[in-house]
Amino acid sequence: METSQEHEHPQWEVVIGLEIHAQLATKSKIFSGAATAYGASPNTQACAVDLGLPGVLPVLNEEAVRMAVKFGMAIEAEIAPYSVFARKNYFYPDLPKGYQISQFELPIVGNGHMDINVDGSSKRVGITRAHLEEDAGKSLHEDFHGLTGIDLNRAGTPLLEIVSEPDMRSAKEAVAYMRKLHNLVRWIGICDGNMQEGSFRCDANVSVRPRGQQAFGTRAEIKNINSFKFVEKAINHEVDRQIQLIESGGKIVQETRLYDSVKDETRSMRSKEEANDYRYFPDPDLLPVSVSDEFKAHIKALLPELPDTRKLRFNEQYQLDTENADILTASRSLADYFETLVKESSCEAKMCANWMTGDLIAALNKANLEITESPITSQRLAGLLQRINDNTISGKIAKQVFEGMWHSTATADEIITEKGLKQITDTGAIEAVIDQIIADNSKQVEQYRDGNEKVFAFFVGQVMKAMQGKANPGEVNKILKTKLK
């Protein structure tokens, strides 16, 4: 679509800051014991605390704190020794208490960063803060004629709101940052990252300024974008809108806008003047959160090797190029799959990487599957690569075996035996076929001997065809060369 593109605006610089809500993967809610599992029938997972009934008291879920601290450490942030929950007061039907519990002045995570890579150059994006808060319920508009239903299952679900500095300068950079964050939260196991279910969503703050100007322009905030594609489209659209408005003599007003993915446009929701005054104040029902050095040390010991570190190690230990290292660290499961494959197959890392980034990932994408759902486990794929390595089958036949493995639970060996795909290395058998083909194609033999090297491929093709692709290609080449001399 035309509007989704990034247009050239040489006189303007784009400024973007993202606020990302990651739903923490705790079993129970942040201030109650109700379950957080997605998809239950409405209002079956909301207890008295989530409903905001009088007389109840919230109790902080320690697991949520642990996850926030884990995140803080992964982005090399400051972890506040002392943070405070506040009440953010507003009225909305999906918020029965009349306030959301959030962290305001003293968030648990402050001042970290994330390095992104766009078009070959690296850049650091500052992360201002990450704070804990509870989610609100959900309004259901579709199921009831003329009425709105309220589902409070989501009320009280723990969220980590991750606020970036206004450091991004294009929609592409914003998407790169969002993708990296998405990888990281899943990598450290604090969020399932499911964007369709709303576990990872983004508000994009966008402004433009004349190139060379220091001061930021007035920003608009685009709310609740739940896919990478839409973030890119929404930002590019908003940039065009702002520039057009300013260039035609208008002024940007600070406001909240909604992205409509069907029309591919943003629309005003409310302006700053209409914005709520939330009257934040510390929640008297909750103690401040204190994080000790021992607690931090404990969490630090639990952190896995992080994506950037692992990528560097893949570069060095396995000599992977940056592109393959990038792809194979796009998720922790992919990286684990790769390392198991190398170990189990004892094949060259480069061969393992190529099979994964080529055939395997292509097949997964086509079937819309994650690596964790792959019908071919790393152990089974290792069995296939071993048979290529020991010359039992050629690389070409291997693709056929791969196909068979994809649609069954058979091992590579079982398929090779069952379908009789074993490579023929018996030189006698190959020679016999070659003799016959040379005898049948005297014209081509003549052309080859007259110096037409291209005809060689014709002979290779004929031999392979006659032997159903099973002849050892090295042997075929060798024997053909001698016989055609």
Give the nearest distance from C-beta 172 to ligand ADP in angstroms. Answer: 16
Tell me: does residue 102 bind ligand ADP (CB under 6 A): no
Tell me: does residue 219 bind ligand ADP (CB under 6 A): yes
Tell me: does residue 70 bind ligand ADP (CB under 6 A): no
Q: Which is nearer to ligand ADP, 21 or 310 (CB)?
A: 21
Question: Which residue from 166, 304, 375, 469 is in contact with ligand ADP, where contact means CB under 6 A?
Answer: 166
Give the nearest distance from C-beta 108 to ligand ADP in angstroms. Answer: 16
- What does the H/E/C string look like for the chain? CHHHCCCCCCCEEEEEEEEEEEECCCCECCCCCCECCCCCCCCCCCCHHHHCCCCCCCCCCHHHHHHHHHHHHHCCCEECCEECEEEEECCCCCCCCCEEEEECCCCCEEEEEEEEEECCEEEEEEEEEEEEEECCCEEECCCCCCCCEEECCCCCCEEEEEEECCCECCHHHHHHHHHHHHHHHHHCCCCCCCCCCCCEEEEEEEEEEECCCCCCCCCEEEEEECCHHHHHHHHHHHHHHHHHHHHCCCCCCCEEEEEECCCCEEEEEEEHHHCCCCCCEECCCCCCEECCHHHHHHHHHHCCCCHHHHHHHHHHHHCCCHHHHHHHCCCHHHHHHHHHHHHHHCCCHHHHHHHHHHHHHHHHHHHCCCHHHCCCCHHHHHHHHHHHHCCCCCHHHHHHHHHHHHCCCCCHHHHHHHCCCCCECCHHHHHHHHHHHHHHCHHHHHHHHCCCCCHHHHHHHHHHHHCCCCECHHHHHHHHHHHHC
Selected range binding ligand ADP among 95-103, 164-172, 258-266, 279-287, rule: CB under 6 A = 164-172
Residue with tokens 């056929």: 400
Q: Which is nearer to ligand ADP, 47 or 80 (CB)?
A: 80
Question: Which residue from 17, 72, 158, 193 is in contact with ligand ADP, where contact means CB under 6 A?
Answer: 17
Tell me: does residue 207 bind ligand ADP (CB under 6 A): yes
Tell me: does residue 458 bind ligand ADP (CB under 6 A): no
Q: How many residues bind ligand ADP (CB under 6 A)?
A: 15
Tell me: does residue 201 bind ligand ADP (CB under 6 A): no
Tell me: does residue 376 bind ligand ADP (CB under 6 A): no
Q: Which is nearer to ligand ADP, 203 or 359 (CB)?
A: 203
| Structure-token pair, residue 282 | 């510390």
Q: Which is nearer to ligand ADP, 73 or 163 (CB)?
A: 163
Task: Say how far apart CA 462 and CA 458 lie, in whole Å.
Answer: 6
Selected range binding ligand ADP among 73-81, 160-168, 172-180, 222-230, rule: CB under 6 A = 160-168
Tell me: does residue 324 bind ligand ADP (CB under 6 A): no
Tell me: does residue 103 bind ligand ADP (CB under 6 A): no
Tell me: does residue 13 bind ligand ADP (CB under 6 A): no
Selected range binding ligand ADP among 30-38, 84-92, 214-222, 236-244, rule: CB under 6 A = 214-222
Give the nearest distance from C-beta 203 to ligand ADP in angstroms. Answer: 8
Tell me: does residue 100 bind ligand ADP (CB under 6 A): no
Is 284 buried (19+), middle (13-18) or exposed (0-12) by CB count in 10 A?
A: exposed
Comparing every residue's Cβ against ligand ADP, the nearest one is 17
Give the nearest distance from C-beta 116 to ligand ADP in angstroms. Answer: 15
Question: Which residue from 163, 347, 382, 437 is in contact with ligand ADP, where contact means CB under 6 A?
Answer: 163
Residue 14's nearest CA partner among 236, 280, 325, 250 is: 236
Give the nearest distance from C-beta 66 to ligand ADP in angstroms. Answer: 25
Tell me: does residue 15 bind ligand ADP (CB under 6 A): yes
Tell me: does residue 216 bind ligand ADP (CB under 6 A): yes
Tell me: does residue 431 bind ligand ADP (CB under 6 A): no
Tell me: does residue 308 bind ligand ADP (CB under 6 A): no
Q: Which is nearer to ligand ADP, 164 or 345 (CB)?
A: 164
Beta bridge partners of 282: 86
Beta strand 109-118 with 78-79 is antiparallel
Question: Which residue from 164, 226, 236, 256 is in contact with ligand ADP, where contact means CB under 6 A?
Answer: 164
User: How many alpha carbons lie under 13 Å from residue 268 in its C-beta half-sphere?
Assistant: 13
Give the nearest distance from C-beta 95 to ligand ADP in angstroms. Answer: 18
Selected range binding ligand ADP among 12-20, 106-114, 278-286, 353-361, rule: CB under 6 A = 12-20
Residue 406's identity, in one-letter code, is W
Tell me: does residue 16 bind ligand ADP (CB under 6 A): yes
Give the nearest distance from C-beta 166 to ligand ADP in angstroms. Answer: 4
* Residues near ligand ADP, by CB under 6 A: 15-19, 163-166, 205-207, 216-217, 219
